[in-house]
């Protein structure tokens, strides 16, 4: 059995954590070939070649792959798919954009957000915001899947796979990139961080959200937010944790001023240790918290930041 895996590459840089976790997840299925596509992707390809379990890296460098537009990337993957039984990618927003398109081009169903692999045809995935886990057996000849990275450990990086350059595929010319709005940050990346501090509507303003950032910096943590905090403009959209935001599973998750709606829990309940600070002792977040503190966050958070 052979697996084609789309590496997560942004502006030429490999997301090693997401890619290595996806590699570890699918390695039991067969020989893994990684596809590194981008306007610049040679460095990312070289880095991916070091992931243990990778047999080969295909490098497709062309301006059409520069901004991860779905149509050219999906066309390339579908064209390569003939040689593989499984076509997979880590379940990032880029892959969720591309992989269902690949699946439809191949006339197969997509397996979204796979959290467990039972055998070559059988997969587990969360449904209903993680309130149920479904085991499904695919009847399709080829499996196209995105892998939920928080469910797997990352493969090591002692490998040394060959990198083969391949020609770019066709450009359907349907869409073009206009601009990116990406805030640079020195903090750890949210989905791979060992610690996450998240703030909710209880924080009350963008200014006060700085309190959450301070606590995060003290802990060396990434910053997350509830949907309500993002909708209210306290935090940017890419900080949202939950069913429709990012899924995280750090060693430590601190939820401040977050009630614990199922849609939020869907994105963080697999965290190793959960700490919740909320003034409402009946808040549902306390049902999943290992350590709960019923307190006003405006006094508790600065005190905690100071005493840590």
Residues 226-285 that bind ligand FAD (CB under 6 A): 226-229, 240-245, 257-259, 261, 263-264, 267, 278-280, 283
Provide CB contacts within 8 A for 28, sequence distance 6+. Answer: 117
Q: Which is nearer to other proteins, 92 or 259 (CB)?
A: 92
Task: Please indicate if the annotation marks 15 as binding a ligand.
Answer: no
Query: Does 85 help bind other proteins (rule: CB under 8 A)?
Result: no
DSSP secondary structure letter of residue 29: G
Tell me the HSE value of 232 on the side-chain side, using a 13 A CA sphere: 17
* Residue 165 binds which of ligand FAD, other proteins, none (CB < 5-8 A, kind-dependent): none
Q: Which two tokens stand for residue 175?
A: 């869409």
Q: Is 198 exposed, middle or buried (0-12, 13-18, 19+ CB in 10 A)?
A: buried
Provide CB contacts within 8 A for 298, sequence distance 6+. Answer: 208, 211
DSSP secondary structure letter of residue 246: B
CB 199 within 8 A of CB 254: no
Q: Which is nearer to ligand FAD, 96 or 201 (CB)?
A: 201
Query: Does 93 help bind ligand FAD (rule: CB under 6 A)?
Result: no
Query: Does 219 help bind other proteins (rule: CB under 8 A)?
Result: yes
Q: Is 104 exposed, middle or buried (0-12, 13-18, 19+ CB in 10 A)?
A: middle
* Residue 290 binds which of other proteins, ligand FAD, none (CB < 5-8 A, kind-dependent): other proteins
Residue 105: what are its φ and ψ, rounded to 5°?
-65, -30
Per-residue string for binding with other proteins, 86-115, x by CB under 8 A?
------xxx-xxxxxxxxxx-xxxxxxx--
Residue count, binding to other proteins (CB under 8 A): 90
Q: Which two tokens stand for residue 151?
A: 């469910």
Residue 155 Cβ, how far from other proteins at the closest point, in Å? Answer: 21
Task: Please indicate if the annotation marks 285 as binding a ligand.
Answer: no
Query: Does 96 help bind ligand FAD (rule: CB under 6 A)?
Result: no
Q: Which two tokens stand for residue 264?
A: 């939020």
Q: Which two tokens stand for residue 96?
A: 């969720």
Query: Does 164 help bind other proteins (rule: CB under 8 A)?
Result: no
Residue 206 Cβ, how far from ligand FAD at the closest point, in Å? Answer: 14
166-195 binders of ligand FAD (CB under 6 A): none
38-77 binders of other proteins (CB under 8 A): 67, 69-71, 74
Separation between Cα atoms, residue 213 and residue 54, nearest integer Å: 37
CB 103 within 8 A of CB 144: yes
Among 1, 63, 127, 210, interactor with other proteins by CB under 8 A? 127
User: Which residues are annotated binding-site positions for FAD?
Assistant: 201, 226-227, 240-244, 257-264, 278
List interacting residues with ligand FAD (CB under 6 A).
200-202, 226-229, 240-245, 257-259, 261, 263-264, 267, 278-280, 283, 296-298
């Amino acid at each position: 059995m052979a697996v084609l895996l789309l590496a997560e590459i942004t502006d030429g840089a490999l997301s090693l954590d997401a890619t290595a976790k996806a590699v570890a997840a699918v390695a039991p299925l067969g020989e893994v070939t990684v596809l590194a596509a981008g306007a610049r992707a040679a460095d990312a390809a070289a880095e991916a070649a070091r992931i243990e379990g990778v047999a080969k890296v295909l490098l497709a460098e062309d301006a059409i792959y520069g901004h991860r537009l779905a149509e050219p990337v999906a066309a390339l993957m579908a064209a390569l798919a003939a040689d593989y039984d499984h076509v997979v990618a880590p379940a990032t927003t880029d892959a969720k954009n591309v992989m269902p398109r690949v699946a439809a081009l191949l006339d197969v169903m997509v397996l979204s957000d796979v959290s467990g692999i039972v055998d070559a045809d059988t997969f587990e995935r969360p449904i209903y915001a993680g309130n149920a886990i479904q085991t499904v057996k695919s009847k399709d000849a080829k499996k196209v899947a995105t892998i939920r990275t928080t469910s797997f450990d990352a493969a090591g990086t002692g490998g040394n796979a060959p990198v083969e350059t391949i020609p770019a595929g066709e450009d359907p010319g349907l869409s073009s990139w206009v601009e990116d709005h990406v805030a640079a940050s020195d903090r750890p990346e949210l989905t791979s961080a060992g610690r996450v501090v998240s703030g909710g509507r209880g924080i009350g303003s963008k200014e006060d959200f700085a309190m959450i950032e301070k606590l995060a910096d003290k802990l060396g943590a990434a910053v997350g937010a509830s949907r309500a905090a993002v909708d209210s403009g306290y935090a940017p959209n890419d900080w949202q944790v939950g069913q429709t935001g990012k899924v995280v599973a750090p060693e430590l998750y601190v939820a401040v001023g977050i009630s614990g709606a199922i849609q939020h829990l869907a994105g963080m309940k697999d965290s190793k240790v959960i700490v919740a600070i909320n003034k409402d002792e009946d808040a549902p977040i306390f049902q999943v918290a290992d350590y709960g503190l019923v307190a006003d966050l405006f006094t508790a958070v600065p005190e905690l930041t100071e005493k840590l």
